Structure 1
Amino acid sequence: MIIAILISIHLLADFLFQTSAYSERKRQALSTSFLHSFIYFIIFVAILAPIFEIKKIILFSLIISTSHFFINVIKNKLEKIFPQRRLQFLFFSFNQLLHFIAIVGFYYILNIENFTSQLYIVLKDCEYFKTFILYITVFSIILDPASVLIRKLFISISPKTYPKAYSEELKAGNIIGKLERTIIAILLLNNQFGLIGFVLTAKSIARFKQMENKNFAEKYLIGTLTSFLIVLITILILKGLL
């Protein structure tokens, strides 16, 4: 459960607490990356302080935020050296994988589980607390991180860039994708599997006319299946762990 909490905090700090514009500036200026890592450190300490020994969690947060800074710097350097669009999905995936490895690795190295507070000992056996952590972890993955992952996937497979006028449609698609994943996640978490078909059908009806365009239909199918797969795998893994 503690690893799920740590992963959730990482995703919230890395996605929810920074805008796309700030993320872009982070690629250009080292100082912006440093500020992001400092905010990342503060978020970890603030959330974990009530359930861990404060000295241990400050040390853990400092190590994690430092590794976070260097991993991001290396990724930004690689993106400048290899600016090809097809590599963006790979860089993003590998970057997040390294963050996860660092978090899990230092969790075991520092033996964090043995430094929990009395509050956590009481909460961990509470079924409502487990459900809360499950929902928080699921939604921390399927909202902004999933949106960025799918966008990077489309950038990698698309041979061309799109004009600014197309950005409004992309924003609408992003919101629809988040709503779709949210509804599907709630249905899966409550074992309402039969209703998922209605969600996908409603989405398809809204795009029915555009399906005549082969290029759009292929991208629609890739986006929808990837979106659904992210939710399904996330819930299956987390239900097994928690």
Structure 2
Amino acid sequence: MIAETSKGAIVNATSEFSQPELLVGLLLAHLLADFYFQPYSWVKQRNERHALALPLYLHALLHGVLALIALALLSDSYSMVTTGTGALIIAVSHFKIDVIKSYCSQNTTAFVIDQFAHVIVILVVFLYVTNQWHSALELIKQLGAGHLAVILAYLAVLKPSSIIIKQLLSPWSSEVLTNKTPSAHPNDTPTITTEAQQTLSLAGQRIGYLERVLMLTFVLLNQFSAIGFLIAAKSIFRFGDLTKHQDRKLTEYVLLGTFTSVAMTFAIGLACAALLGHMPIKSQ
């Protein structure tokens, strides 16, 4: 089967890697230096003064020192030049990446790209110090249809699914998301402003992303009971809306969106599972 073949190939390729403790040590050094040993005042000065901020140099130096310790203790290489070069690459690259980040908006996208760049540098240093470029190339070559199917499934449940769900619900969106007409009755729900609607809409989009990613993961792991728990947990948070008679349209809209999201995720997950060769329901 595709899943078994791909998994076996990956295991064989990864078994060729040596010194995995060094990679873990370098990642641990990055985690400590970037999140635990970096005060907020350093981050603030970096964002305000950019390359002129003294704490930025101290931060990069700290990364280099911790990387050097990890390389010295966990690497089988006895070459001081190789070890020192690896630590220097991490320190200098971290400085340059953080300078670039200081000019960008401080949002989630910038944070993810920043961390991804740091991790790539650490992987490159690991391969450089251990001289395992061939093993890395072999691992990439072993990626098969099953792995690509999983990547495709996770990408499909994010923005593409969000756009499709929005289009499917568009006939009812105007009835729910537009401002309510003012009423003299004191018990009526207050009018929702346009700014508040946009904020809730963005929050709802992020919630939808997380919801579908979790459901897809549970489908691929054949843990359908966890999906029921996820839907039940969401229903509890929506209980206030469900008990308000004046918000019946909003309740129906939320339920329609939820079940559309669940159906799409199930369809994508089952299609991916079929390609992987482990459908949860098999014919006798």
TM-score, length-scaled by structure 2:
0.39
Query: Whose helix proportion is higher, 1 or 2?
Result: 1
Between 1 and 2, higher relative CO (CA 8 Å, sep ≥ 6) is seen in 1
